[in-house]
Amino acid sequence: MRPAQIELPGCMLIEDAPLDARNTLRVKARSAWLAALSDPAALPRLLDFPTLRGLPLLALGAGSNVLFTGDWPGLIVQLRNGGIERIGETQGQVQLRVGAGESWDAWVRWTLAQGLVGLENLILIPGTVGAAPIQNIGAYGVEVARSILSVEAWDRERNCFVDLRADDCAFGYRDSCFRREPQRWIISAVRFNLAREGALHLDYAGIREELAGMRVEQPRAVHVAEAVLRLRTRKLPDPALIGNAGSFFKNPRVDAALAATLRMRHPGLPQWPQADGSIKLSAAWLVEATGCKGLREGDAGISERHALVLVNHGAASGAQLWALAVRVRDAVHMRFGVLLEAEPRVLP
């Protein structure tokens, strides 16, 4: 018997939907219901559909930041609305509105083609524009929050669309109000503020060296993007070739006392002081120091190319991948007294 498919205005609702093609770890799982929306305006009617009332909800982009350890018992909402709209320009600052379903990497490349500055360090990150604010994506010294004007979202608590200014989104390191309250928000569009000219962020490890190798002496945003693209391609496995969700663990923050102890015992451990007095540590260094880089149990593994990347070599289940991640987390905790936190959402 085929799963039910119900067509609503601007939305296709699918019962018992397979998820293995909807997550970049390629985990086999199913969702009780999945709604693919071409128009966010269909959200109020969808969420009022009798069969769906009271079910747990998951807003899903390209599935590049989730690990399904089993089937999802509720409703998954995927917004597929794209489009880029120029909404203003003042003193060399350009304001743009982008649909949640737009590819993040395609959007970054569009900004580069327009000669805009701000997102070049974030090229080649998989996922959608609507997912970017949820974990405040970041790479090579830049977080997306610095370029966001506001986030448009459906607020399930107030039953209306809202436009949250960046200051109201509670952005933090891989964090936001959307991540803290995932049942409340469904992001429909993001507004950005980008510059026609601006300072480039070149200080993250490897960027200046890559630019030198490219023989670029006066870099522009397109050169920085090319340098980052080369670095990412060398260091990170391609999700199109092997299932993965990018960096699986966040760089941990510890207090100054523990950082000092670790510095004395492990002089090679990279440490970065933070504005609040805490010290950020390199999660990749910690994992590699435990010998877990390249570890494999069945089809679940840690990439040989990058110690933070959990990979699916073929048919690993979500539960098997999570079990391996826990083993790595526990090994780091036992040796260093530092508890790593997963960057992707582990579901259900």
The residues annotated with a catalytic role in the active site are: 174, 247, 343
129 neighbors 136 (Cβ within 8 angstroms): no
Sorted by sequence, the CB contacts under 8 Å of residue 172 that are 6+ apart come out as 136
How many Cα atoms are found within 13 Å in the side-chain-facing hemisphere of 224?
27
Instruction: Say how far apart CA 190 and CA 202 lie, in whole Å.
Output: 26
Torsion of CA 245, 249, 251, 253, to 10 degrees: 140
* Token code pair at residue 310: 């959990």
**Which residues does 209 contact at the CB level (< 8 Å), separation at least 6?**
none
Closest CA relative to residue 138, chosen from 175, 93, 187: 175
Query: Do the Cβ atoms of 271 and 281 come closer than 8 Å?
Result: yes
Asked if 35 and 12 count as a contact pair (C-beta separation under 8 A), the reply is: yes
